[in-house]
């Protein structure tokens, strides 16, 4: 496990999300290109959050999820409708928080070191899911309600405004 990897708790995690949200709002301002917007979100969050081991977008494209901007070890390129944690978040339109990825039977392991995961659906203005945002952690229980709230607030800025 990386020396830099650690799971922040409570108020520290909340503050990290608030700071990241301000930085991301600044990056998105005046930038209409969707790839540039996604890349900025990934770069800020992956750098700011010490418990993010893999951070990235999968875009809805041609009936599948296709990998988009990400940081971390090489991710799986495509995920079919309803498959894995990402496909489940896409189909249900609901954030999935996995305390332990091994408890989710259909989990797709792109890197065997991933132990926990959060996947947030990303909506367009019409309310359709256009992408999912996926984060993997190295420890069981890295993600909680603080991550869900912080990430949903940030991702709500990417395609739906
Ligand atoms: N674990 C995901 C696949 C993507 S990787 O975590 C980068 C899933 O089960 O959908």
How many domains are contained in the chain? 1
d(CA 68, CA 145): 25
In a domain, 36, yes or no: yes
User: Ligand 1 centre from 30 Cα, in Å?
Assistant: 31
Within the chain, where are the H helices?
10-28, 34-48, 84-92, 145-155
Does 71 reside within a domain? yes
pLDDT of residue 160: 78
Residue 90 lies in a domain: yes
pLDDT at residue 6 in the model: 93
Evaluate whether residue 4 is within a structural domain: no
CATH (domain of 141): 3.30.450.40
Is pTM, for the whole model, over 0.75?
yes
Domain containing residue 36: 10-160
How many Cβ atoms sit within 10 Å of the Cβ of residue 115?
A: 19
Q: Is residue 38, in this structure, part of any structural domain at all?
A: yes
Q: Is residue 102 part of a domain?
A: yes
Residue 83 lies in a domain: yes
pLDDT tens for each residue of 12-36: 999 999 999 999 999 999 899 999 9
Neighbour order of strands in the sheet with 129-137: 78-80, 64-71, 54-61, 129-137, 116-123, 96-98
Ligand 1 nearest-atom number relative to CA 83? 10
Pocket residue to mutate for ligand 1, from 59, 60, 72, 76, most atoms within 8 A of Cβ: 76
């Amino acid at each position: 496990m990386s020396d830099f990897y650690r799971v922040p708790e409570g108020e520290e995690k909340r503050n990290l999300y608030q700071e990241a949200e301000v930085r991301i709002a600044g990056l998105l301002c005046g930038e209409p290109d969707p790839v540039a917007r996604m890349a900025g979100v990934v770069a800020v969050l992956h750098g700011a959050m010490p418990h993010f081991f893999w951070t990235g977008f999968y875009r809805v494209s041609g009936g599948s999820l296709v990998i988009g901007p990400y940081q971390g070890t090489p991710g799986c390129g495509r995920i079919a409708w309803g498959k894995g944690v990402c496909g489940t978040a896409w189909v249900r339109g609901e954030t999935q928080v996995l305390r332990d990825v091994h408890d989710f039977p259909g989990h797709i392991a792109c890197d065997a070191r991933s132990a926990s995961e959060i996947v947030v659906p990303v909506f367009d203005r019409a309310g359709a899911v256009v992408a999912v945002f996926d984060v993997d952690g190295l420890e069981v229980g890295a993600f909680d309600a603080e991550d869900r709230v912080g990430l949903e607030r940030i991702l709500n800025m990417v395609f739906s405004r």
